[in-house]
Amino acid sequence: MTRRIALAIAALSLTALIAPGCASQPAASAGSASAPAAESSSAAAEMATAAEPAHDADELADAVACGHAMEVTGTAWRSEFRHANGDLDDAGYAAVELVLRDSWATILTGKPHSDVTIAATTVSDLARNGADLNAEDFQAATRALSEACAGIGILESLRALPGQGG
């Protein structure tokens, strides 16, 4: 489990370092006299970006919690779809709900430092204490987590399987 967390944090860090460099590269036309200067300027900007820490530990913890929440929400949605279409029987769906409960209960929250960690801790506590995952209080808690994630720029995105609109 600790290895997975470390890998998730490393992946997020690499994405944070790569994305600004990709976005900052100017488009230079072939044969343009200013192309070498633009490339030199872009390289210097990339080096400066890489030298600065992309995120602190709290921001990374928030990003990991939001990613975890998105994955669990997506799994819940796809499982509900499969159950409604008869691809997953009641016993299978009950087993999936146990996995979902465990997933919600084990969100990495860290110390309370933001709306994300506060919302993630609420969701985790509810799941750990046996809340009905379909009850309004639990659904309100997961919506609050989604809104907290959106507040830091991480918008909820669900991946659909073929036949589910994906």
- Pair 28, 38: CB distance under 8 Å: yes
What whole-number percentage of the chain has pLDDT above 70? 61
The residue-averaged pLDDT of 142-147 equals 95
Q: Extract the tokens encoding 65.
A: 């919690």
The residue-averaged pLDDT of 149-162 equals 77
30-73 tens-digit pLDDT? 444 444 444 445 554 554 444 455 558 888 889 999 999 999 99
Q: What share of the chain is helix, strand, coil (3-state, %, to 5)?
A: 70, 0, 30
pLDDT above 50 for 93: yes
Mean of the per-residue pLDDT values of the chain: 74
Whether the model clears a pTM of 0.85, i.e. scores above it, the answer is no
The residue-averaged pLDDT of 21-31 equals 39
Nearest 5 degrees, angle CA 161-CA 163-CA 165? 75
- HSE-CB at 34 with a 13 A cutoff on CA atoms is 7
- pLDDT class of 166 with cuts at 50, 70, 90: low
Residue carrying the six token digits 């970006």: 49
102-126 tens-digit pLDDT? 999 999 877 778 999 999 999 999 9
Q: What is the per-residue pLDDT for 113?
A: 82
DSSP state of 135: S
Q: What is the per-residue pLDDT for 16?
A: 40
pLDDT above 80 for 157: no
Q: DSSP 3-state assignment of 29?
A: coil
Q: Extract the tokens encoding 90.
A: 């009641």
Q: What is the per-residue pLDDT for 145?
A: 96
Higher pLDDT, 166 or 51: 166
